[in-house]
Every structure is written in C-alpha cells, then in structure tokens.
Chain A
Amino acid sequence: MAWFRKRKNKHGAGEGLDENLWVVCPDCKTHVHRDEWFAAPKVCPKCVFHDRLTARERLDITLDPGTFREFNPEISTSDPLLFTDGKESYFTKAEAAKGRTGLNEAVVTGSGKLDDQTVTVAVMDFRFLGGSLGSGTGEKILLAADYALRHRRPFIVFSASGGARMHEGIVSLMQMAKTCAGIARLHKEGIPYISVLTDPTTGGVSASFAMAGDIHIAEPRALIGFAGRRVIEQTIRQKLPPGFQTAEYLLEHGFIDLIAHRRDMRNCLSRILRYWKR
C-alpha cells in the first residue's frame, strides 16, 4: 500500500478529506469509499483496475478461512555473491525488505482448502524486492511443488514478479530451471498445476514456472511479458502499441486461458479443480 502512504504525505494532515474513508484509484483517480475498495478487494469499481495484493491478502481471499498452513516460513534470502552495487549491499536491501513486509522471502507457500478442496499454494509478494526470484524463492516453490506431488494435491501459484533477482546472479537464473524441474514432475505424475498471473509477471518468472502451467489465468490488465518495455523500445526503435503485454494482449495471442476478475477468481479456480479426477 505504498501508494496510499504516498498520498497521505502529499496532502498532509490538514487536507480536510478523511484519509481513512476514501481511497483514490491509482489508475483512474476516482475516489472510492474504503469499504467498497477493500470489499472487492483493491479493485476499482469504476475502471476495474486491480491493485496489487500482498501475499496474505491473496491467501485470505482465496482459501477457506482458517485452513492455511504455511510451509518453511524460515527460508530466507541467501547472498551467494556477497553482492553490492557500490552504494548498498544486497544483504542490507534484503534486511530492509524483511522489516518492511514481515516476510522472509518473496513468496509464501503452504497448504489449505479452496472451497473444501485441499490445494498447495505459492503466492508471490511484489513488495519483497519486486517479487524477484531468488534462491530462497525458488527453494520454497520447489518444496511446495514437491509437497503437491507427494500428497497428490493440485498446485496453484500466484505470480507477481519483475523476474530473476540479479543480486543473486547466476544462482537466481538457475531458479528458473529449478522451479521448472519441480513443475515437470507434476506434469509427469498428472497433478494439476494452475498458474495465476497477476500484475506484474515478467522476465525470469514469466519465462519459467508462470508460463508452464496446465491452465493460465490472469487478472484483468495485469502486465505480463518477457522483456521490459524500455528494452524492447530501444531494440526495435519504435513505440509499443497501447495495451501491449497486458493480460488481454496475451489472451488474444493465445498464451492465457482466461482472465478472471478478482472477485470471481476463487470460484473460477474451484470450478476448474472439480474437473480433475484424482
């Protein structure tokens, strides 16, 4: 909710607008009543903008209340390169992210019930270093996939990531291979793997487990793609068309099975899972 705080700073305390009552849609700038905003949740009723959710918020709206059991919350970031960019070390950056989010890594994994069906889930949290795929992230996703395999439970991953975590160098790149090795086993053993692509899912995450699902579901207007806009524009030396790399664009080009509004997501997943004969 960084944008929310930002707005507070901008307007200051004496603005007269009740800061706690209204939320401004980051996209269309409509004032939305707080209750309405969080009921959706975090979806603008006017322009259907889907604001990013934290991993906890996602779990809350996806699983049956009180059924979530987290795996390996202790798994945290590793610093194989002892990386520093001259100003700040990766270690410091990671510690700050941990303090800010209360998470140890960019993904929360576990088991729970979705409409009374037991599922294994992995939910990425963009607030944690841009949801980047580090060794801890990859390890947690692989362990969750392994759990889904052993217990023959469907695996659902909600992606939200800028891609590989460059501070972990080649080890980060190899997490693409590692997570896909886990997914490949699910494919071989006939365990459903549903990939839900939320805003944003790009780079090394889109080019690995997020695009290797049996079924790909996206949230409306989520940014999904391989290369960054700026890189593409510099490469081809032309402006990109509007709507490029959105969920709708990918649907049109055949890489997404369907787009589901956030309020329908849980129901959508539940209905799909009922088609699996265990």
Chain B
Amino acid sequence: MDPQKDFDQELKDIEAKIAELKLLAKDDSVRFGTEIAQLEKEKADLETSLYANLSPWQIVQIARHPQRPLLRDYIEGIFSEFIELHGDRRFGDDAGLIGGLATIEDRRAVLIGHQKGRTVEDNVKMNFGMANPEGYRKALRLMKLAEKFRLPVISFIDTPGAYPGLDAEARGQAEAIAANLAAMASLEVPIIVIVTGEGGSGGALGIGMGDSVLMLAYAVYSVISPEGCASILWRDGAKAPEAAAALKITAASLLEMGVVDDIVPEPLGGAHRDPQQTLANVKDALIKRLKKHARFSPKKLVETRYEKYADIGRWKNWW
C-alpha cells in the first residue's frame, strides 16, 4: 500500500484514543480530564503541521477521501427541494450523472452533477461517478430545460472521468461531450459550476463550462489523472505523486491560471473532517454566484462566457 495514502494515520490514531478516553472519562472525569486535554493539544498541533504544507498528491487523497461529502449530501444539506428528473430520452438513465429541479433558499435552479456512491453496491450502479453518453445527454436535456424555464444551472463535478467502456464508445462518448461543450457555450441562462472532489478531464468538463467555476479548497481538476500521466510520461504509474505536482491540479494553481474563479474554503484537513461546515460554505458560495449572474441579460451572459473561455491560453498571455 502506498505509504502516502494514509498520511493522516497518526491523526486518526490520536482521535481514536481521545474517543476511547472520553468514554472512560464518563466514569472517572478527574483522572482522564488532563490526559484528554493533553491529547487534544497534541492533535491540534499535529493538524496544523500536517495540513499546512500538503503535497499535491496528498490533496488528491483528500479529494478522493471515502468520507468526503458526495452529491447526495450536498443535495440533502443545501437544497430545500430536489425533484430528480431521469433519462436522456434517447437510450436510458445514467445513475452516475443525475439532475433535476432544485431550490436553494428562495432560488430555483436546475441541478446536474456526477453521483458517486459510498457502498460498493451504489458504486457499481453509479459507475463510481464515471458517466456514460446517456448521462451527458441527460445533462444536456436538463440544461435546455433550464433555458426554457429561465432557470440558472448549478453543476456539481466529482468524477474520475467519463466512462472508458466499449458501450460508451459505441454510443458516442466523444460526441456526447462535444455536444455539451457547444451547448454550454451558448446557453442563455447562468451556469454555476463547482468542483467538489475529482475533476477528471473531459468527463468533468462535459458538464463543466460556466459563468462561474468554483472549486473546493481540496478538490483537484486535471486534464489526466496523475496515475495516467505518470504511466504515459514517466512510464511508471507509481510516479503519480510527481505527475500530480507537475500537472498543477490543485485549486490554488487553477485559480492562478484563471481556470477557476474562486476557491470555496474547507475545514482544515478536508471536507470530511467537518461536512456541515463544508456544506454551509458551498451554499454561501453558490448563492453569491447565483445573485451575481442573475443580473445579466441572456446576450450579455453568452458574450461574457465566450470571452472568458477565449481568454484561457490566449497567445502571449503567459509571457
């Protein structure tokens, strides 16, 4: 097993010990009180040193953390109503990319997003959040619905990538993503995108063009997975930590390159350490962005979005 994968194991051990002592302390608070306080302090110090200088590869581990909030957590915790709408009206319904009508505070919107599962069973059904063409086509249908109903689109991104399967190819994975990009470029309602976990290449971008693209502090977004890049360029998948650093896939790097517009803060060490706080931060950020883009006319929205994307990698911008 990769030793880096459990870089916060020491912290987990202390937390377990504190929990244990707290149970004992119920019976004998005098005896364990100081010991707990001592451990709590150790824990705080460790947290600060551990999370102050995370490597990109460690951030990848946080972005993929099994306890990290998933789309369903955001839907339940942030939206007062969600009416799921199924199917692409062409082939089927993709459980790995879902969508529907959603209300956030007093604002109505169309929500789309990758859905990962927490159990093996769910993940088989949801394909670990790797969408098939019918997922992208369902998202397209719902974005067109948003346009007709004059509702903003909120897109949650958390996927290792679009599904690389035989059937996905047969049904036109490439065409499905391409069609979404062209449609998102000209959609006449606001699109707010948030990368909450893994932003996996074309599979992420397929629902990822927006007027505002936000990223959680420990999310990653990359043209290729660090493992994939390492196996191609380093000819060794184990060099993923090096590839993760070279690819500049963290929120801070993407903000610097102008690919994302803002970083949504996470609790120290990652969203899984305080999901409620994370949800509150995401909610605030979404509402702020919804308000911001609601002011613009459809024409202005599309023009501004065009300029935004035309500007990414503008010749001579880098020099």
Show the binding face of A for B, using Cβ within 8 Å. 72, 75, 78-81, 83-86, 134-136, 138-139, 142, 164, 166, 168-178, 180-185, 187-188, 202-204, 206-212, 224-228, 231-232, 235-236, 238, 240-241, 244-245, 253-255
Contacts and interface: CB of A to CB of B under 8 A. Distances in A.
B178 A180 contact: yes
Given A169-B247, A203-B202, 10 more contacts: A164-B201, A171-B313, A174-B205, A177-B185, A181-B306, A211-B175, A212-B181, A212-B182, A226-B173, A255-B172
A149 to B, nearest CB: 11
How extensive is the interface on chain B, given as a class?
35 or more
Given A181-B309, A208-B177, A253-B171, A240 B247 contact: no
Interface of B is mostly: helix
Given A84-B246, A178-B309, A210-B178, A184 B224 contact: no
A173 B247 contact: no
Report which residue of B169, B170, B222 has the largest number of chain A beta carbons within 10 angstroms of its beta carbon.
B169
A78 B247 CA distance: 14
Contact of B164 (A135, A185, A232): A232
Contact of A227 (B164, B185, B186, B306): B164
Contact of A177 (B181, B242, B253): B181
A79 B315 CA distance: 11
Interface of B: 162-166, 168-175, 177-179, 181-186, 201-202, 205-206, 208-209, 221-224, 228-229, 232-234, 239, 242-243, 246-249, 253-254, 257, 259, 305-306, 309-310, 312-315, 317-319
A79 B174 contact: no
Contact of A225 (B174, B186, B254): B174
Nearest to B316: A78
Contacts of A203: 202
B313 A166 contact: no
Contacts of B205: 173-174, 176-177
A236 to B, nearest CB: 5
B312 A174 contact: yes
Nearest 3 CB-CB pairings of A with B: A135-B313, A227-B164, A180-B181
Nearest to A136: B315
B207 to A, nearest CB: 12
Contacts of A83: 246-247
Interface of A is mostly: helix
Nearest to A234: B164
A138 B314 CA distance: 9
Report which residue of B182, B222, B246, B253 has the largest number of chain A beta carbons within 10 angstroms of its beta carbon.
B182
A169 B248 contact: yes
6 contacts: A81-B247, A86-B234, A139-B315, A166-B233, A168-B313, A228-B164
Given A177-B309, A185-B306, A240-B166, A208 B318 contact: no
Contacts of B243: 85
